[in-house]
Amino acid sequence: MPQTLHLIPVSLGESPASRWLPLEAQTTASKLDYYIAENAKTARAFLKLIGTEKPIQNITIHALSRNTDAAQIRQWLKQSGATGDIGLVSEAGCPAVADPGALVVQTAHEMGIRVAPWTGPSSIILGLMASGLNGQNFVFHGYAPVAPAERAQQLRTWEAASRKARQTQIFIETPYRNDAMFETLILTLSGSTRLCIARALTTDHEWIQTHSIDDWKKRPAPVLQKQPTLFLFQA
């Protein structure tokens, strides 16, 4: 069988692997000797959680960043190919989705390496599923601008695009700025725009609600500080 690059999802937060990763994927991941990871420390924590056939210290983990070039990735894939398959893991959720691992997948295709995506958690998809917003036309923006004036202007631009195309707008924020982002959304978006807050997905602290901006203004602000949160809205 040809060498395979396994795209293995990791957790979105603290929760048992049985909640978010199928047993077959766990078994496959436990047997791999080589990994490419966005964060080596996170990768080791994942391997410790699922268990490995070899001691973790004997598993090679190459650290990937947004500055890693295709030549380096090609070298890593060649090295692992001499002995077996390789795994790709992200910092959280599914690798290669809003993640530098996309270049690894691209390089694998160019080298004729089989690519095998495994089922697992994606905050973007899980949040969209639970939001009640348009799941046929949506866009993920990553992060909004940090400066307050630029952030508010960007939100208005996204809202206009949403209204024109009935398109769900999806983005994230650095956890310690979640409360500020919620406040900006409440002050900036139109009253009829529907806003979904999806906090701590797949964990015991998971909390998901969708309301119009006018309705949100009548409710206590959600507790978001320092917890991974996905923001979705549709005008």
- 99 versus 208: the higher-pLDDT residue is 208
**Does 15 share its domain with 105?**
yes
**Does 184 share its domain with 110?**
no
Instruction: Identify the pLDDT of residue 41.
Output: 93
> How far is the C-alpha of 195 from the C-alpha of 209, rounded, in Å?
8
Q: Label each residue of the chain as H, E or C.
A: CCCEEEECCECCCCCCHHHCCCHHHHHHHHHCCEEEECCHHHHHHHHHHHCCCCCHHHCEEEECCCCCCHHHHHHHHHHHHCCCCEEEECCCECCCCCCCCHHHHHHHHHCCCEEEECCCCCHHHHHHHHHCCCCCCEEEEEECCCCHHHHHHHHHHHHHHHHHHCCEEEEECCHHHHHHHHHHHHHHCCCCCEEEEEECCCCCCCEEEEEEHHHHHCCCCCCCCCCCEEEEEEC
Kindly tell me if the per-residue pLDDT of 183 is higher than 70: yes
Instruction: Identify the pLDDT of residue 202.
Output: 95
> How far is the C-alpha of 199 from the C-alpha of 230, rounded, in Å?
6
**Does 98 share its domain with 165?**
no
pTM above 0.75, yes or no: yes
**Does 110 share its domain with 10?**
yes
What's the structural domain count of the chain? 2
**Does 91 share its domain with 22?**
yes
- % the chain with pLDDT above 90: 91
Read off the pLDDT of residues 13-35 as tens digits, 9 standing for 90 and up.
999 999 999 999 999 999 999 99
Using 50, 70 and 90 to split pLDDT, how confident is the model at 1?
A: low
- % the chain with pLDDT above 70: 98
**Does 128 share its domain with 226?**
yes
Instruction: Identify the pLDDT of residue 79.
Output: 83
Considering 117, 148, 171, which residue would you say is the last residue of a domain?
Answer: 117
Kindly tell me if the per-residue pLDDT of 82 is higher than 70: no
**Does 104 share its domain with 134?**
no
Considering 117, 137, 172, which residue would you say is the last residue of a domain?
Answer: 117
**Does 75 share its domain with 156?**
no
CATH number reported for the structural domain that contains residue 201 in this entry: 3.30.950.10
Considering 117, 141, 163, which residue would you say is the last residue of a domain?
Answer: 117
**Does 113 share its domain with 183?**
no
Instruction: Identify the pLDDT of residue 187.
Output: 97
**Does 135 share its domain with 225?**
yes
Read off the pLDDT of residues 218-235 as tens digits, 9 standing for 90 and up.
999 999 988 999 999 999
Using 50, 70 and 90 to split pLDDT, how confident is the model at 2?
A: low
| Domain that residue 186 falls in | 123-234
CATH number reported for the structural domain that contains residue 89 in this entry: 3.40.1010.10
**Does 148 share its domain with 58?**
no
